[in-house]
Chain A
Amino acid sequence: MTRKNDISVPEGYFENLQQRLSGIARTESPAAKVGVVRRLAPYVAVAASMLIAVTVGNWLLSRTAVRDTQSNYESMLIAEADPLYGPDGYSFLDDVVEEITDEDIVNYLISSGISMEHINAVRYEEIY
């Protein structure tokens, strides 16, 4: 094993490392990249399809808006009574919470500049 004082690495690690790192340039070089237009084309197609769907959907909904006004009003009253739940009892927060990962929380805390003292203080309050 290759050793530097008290730490060692697997034999041949650094030779293999250099090969792998050099691969970054080969992968990221312009010749390996697909043209910008070709790369964006699928996304433009999807965006255009969604725009058409939304436009048609809005037109259809506007034709039924008058009929649904009364039931919408009742739904609004129910929703305001308990803002966490919709008319059918479904919690809107469930989906949102499931989408937030630990990584999201960590990245938010770091970018917000919150101090470790504050985190530990909050933790202390939760325990005691």
Chain B
Amino acid sequence: MSEREQIFNKIVSTYSERLYWHVRRFVLSHEDTDDLLQEIFIKIWTALPSFRGESQLFTWVYKIATNETLNFLRKQKVRAALRFQSIDAELENRIDSDPYFSGTEAERELSKAVARLPEKQRQVFIMRYYDDLSYDEISSVTGTSVGSLKASYHFATEKIRESLKDILLPD
């Protein structure tokens, strides 16, 4: 087995599950997540010879996964627009019809509120709240300053709080 294969298999065993949950929070579908993971790891395999260690391996892998996921979501958004449909409505449908969702009603509404966030805020919220990454780690992955990330996270939580207040505590 070549060194490249050894490193790749190590990445698979170390990060595949973590990347699954990361992608899943964005695309809201087990099947799409599974397909996307295949593409992500093919990209990782292809790009592995060019990894020079300028960043940590984890950051590098996470960046590939995040970029591929965001590209996937952008395509979905354009397809929805061409069909005169709302991507927000489509994402909410995915949450409601997900056979693998087993949380509470509050968790379901939280997922929907996160899905409605603008892309940048959604990205930061998922990586901070669900993936439990530090702001420094998120900054390494996204290339955004820690200050901007904290601001994005703050605005995201404010929007979510407003959204959930209307739904879970109606007048």
Residues of A within 8 A of B (CB): 1, 3-10, 14, 17-18, 20-22, 24-26, 28-30, 102, 105-107, 109-110, 116, 119-120, 123, 127
Interface residues of B in 75-118 (CB under 8 A from A): 75, 77-79, 81-82, 84, 98, 100-104, 107-108, 111
Q: Which 7 A-B pairs have the closest CB atoms?
A: A6-B103, A6-B107, A25-B5, A21-B12, A25-B8, A119-B81, A106-B78
Q: Tell whether, in the assembled complex, residue A14 and residue B8 are in contact, meaning their CB atoms are under 8 Å apart.
A: no
Q: How many residues of chain B get a CB closer than 8 Å to chain A's CBs?
A: 38
Check A119 against B38 for contact (C-beta < 8 Å). Answer: no
Chain B contacts for A28, CB-based, 8 A: 42, 45-46
Within the assembled complex, what's the spacing in Å between the Cα atoms of A28 and B48? Answer: 12
Instruction: Report B's interface with A, CB cutoff 8 A.
Output: 2, 4-5, 8-9, 12-13, 16-17, 20-21, 24, 30, 34, 37-38, 41-42, 45-46, 71, 74-75, 77-79, 81-82, 84, 98, 100-104, 107-108, 111
Do A5 and B103 touch (CB < 8 A)? yes
Shortest distance from the beta carbon of A24 to any chain B beta carbon, whole Å: 5
Distance between Cα atoms of A26 and B4 in the complex (Å): 11
Q: Using CB atoms, name the residue of chain A closest to B24.
A: A7
> From residue B43, how far is it (CB to closest CB) to chain A in Å?
10
Contact of A17 among B8, B37, B77 (CB under 8 A): B37
Tell me the smallest distance from the CB of A97 to a CB of chain B, in Å.
15
Asked whether A116 and B77 contact (CB < 8 A) given A7-B102, A14-B16, A21-B12, the answer is: yes
- Within the complex, the shortest CB–CB distance from B18 to chain A, in Å, comes to 10
Residues of B within 8 A of A20 (CB): 38
Q: Which residues of B contact A24 (CB under 8 A)?
A: 8, 38, 41-42, 45
**Which of B4, B20, B74, B100 is close to A110, meaning CB atoms less than 8 Å apart?**
B74
Say whether B13 contacts A110, CB under 8 Å: no
Q: Which residues of B contact A3 (CB under 8 A)?
A: 102
